[in-house]
Amino acid sequence: MSTTRSTAAGKALKVLSTFGRERQTQTLSEIAQRTGLAVSTTHRVVTELARWGALERGEDGAWHVGLRLWEIASGCPRTQILRDVALPFMQDLYEATHENIQLAVREGTELVFVERIAGHRSVELVTMVGSRFPIGSTGMGRVLLAHAPRDIQEAVLESPLRAWTPHTVTDPKTMRAQLDRIRREQVFVSDRQLSEDTVAVAAPVRTGRTGPVSAALGIVIAARSASRALGLREPLLRAAYRISDELGRRAHATV
C-alpha cells in the first residue's frame, strides 16, 4: 500500500474522488467498495468530511458533495479570473446567437468545461460545467490541443483515439492535419465529433492578443443547423479576441 493511501489526507481524497457528475450520491457501503477501504474506516473519513462540510447526507441516507467544497473550488485562481473576464463577452455572444456558449481549459491531456450559457431553445449537450473529456474528443479540445506543448500533442496522437460517433476523427495523420489548420485559421468547426446531434465552432482564447492560449471558447449548435456554422466564425472570433485583450490588460496591470 502506498504512503498516500495510508495517510488521512490520502483516504479523504480517495473518498472524494468517488463522486462525480455521473455519481452524485452514494451510500456508505458504495463508497467503501469503490475506495477499497474498510467500512469502519470509510465511516470515520466520511464523518470527518461531513463535519467540515465537504460532504452532506441526504434525507435518504446517501452522501453527496457539500456546499463548502464547492465554495473552495469556485475560488480556483486559474478559472476565477478567466470566468470573470469571459462571462460578459459570452453573454453578448449568446444574445447574438441564442446558442450554447462554452468555455474550457486544458489540464494535461484532458479539457475541463469551466463556464456555459444556454437558453431553453439551445440544443441539449452531453457536456456541462465541471465535466472533463479527452482533449481530442471535442472541437474546443482540439483547439486547445493545437496550441498545447509538443509532448502533450504527441501523447494524445500516439494513444488510441476514441470514436464517440461514426464521424469522429481517430486517424492520427488526419488529426495532425486538423491541428495544423487550426493554428493557421484559428477557428475550427467540429462536425458531430462528440455527439451526432451537435456541431461546434471553437476558437482559442489567449492572454493578450498574441499571448499563450489559456482557454477555448465555443458555440455548439444542433447538427440540423450545421449550415449556420460558417456564419458563427466571425462573432466567435471577435468575442475570443475581446476576452484575450481583457486578459492581457489584467495581466499587465498586475506586473
Residue-by-residue pLDDT tens, the chain, 255 positions:
344 446 888 899 999 989 876 788 999 999 999 999 999 999 999 999 999 989 999 989 999 988 888 777 766 666 788 999 999 999 999 999 999 999 999 999 999 999 999 877 777 777 778 788 999 989 999 999 999 999 999 999 999 988 989 998 999 999 999 999 999 999 999 988 888 888 999 999 999 988 999 999 999 998 888 888 889 999 999 999 999 999 998 887 765
Say whether both 99 and 136 belong to one domain: yes
Three-state SS at 169: coil
Domain final position from 24, 41, 71: 71
The pLDDT of residue 78 is 66
Say whether both 101 and 50 belong to one domain: no
Domain final position from 71, 88, 120: 71
Say whether both 179 and 203 belong to one domain: yes
Radius of gyration of the chain (CA): 20
The pLDDT of residue 208 is 92
Say whether both 132 and 243 belong to one domain: yes
Question: Could you give the C-alpha distances from 62 to 20, 31, 38, 58, 65, in angstroms and in order?
Answer: 14, 10, 18, 6, 11
The pLDDT of residue 254 is 67
Say whether both 83 and 55 belong to one domain: no
Say whether both 65 and 158 belong to one domain: no
The pLDDT of residue 44 is 93
Phi-psi label, residue 103: left if phi above 0, alpha if psi -120 to 50, beta otherwise: beta
Which residue range forms the structural domain that includes residue 31?
Answer: 3-71
Domains in the chain, number: 2
Question: Could you give the C-alpha distances from 132 to 20, 183, 249, in angstroms and in order?
Answer: 10, 23, 29
Describe the chain by its helix, strand, coil percentages, rounded to 5.
50, 20, 30
Q: Alpha helices of the chain — where are they, by DSSP H?
A: 3-6, 8-17, 28-35, 39-52, 67-73, 77-97, 139-146, 150-157, 172-185, 229-253
Residue with the three cell numbers 450559457: 117
Say whether both 106 and 212 belong to one domain: yes
Spatial CB neighbours of 252, under 8 Å, sequence gap ≥ 6: 208
Q: The domain that contains 48 carries what CATH number?
A: 1.10.10.10
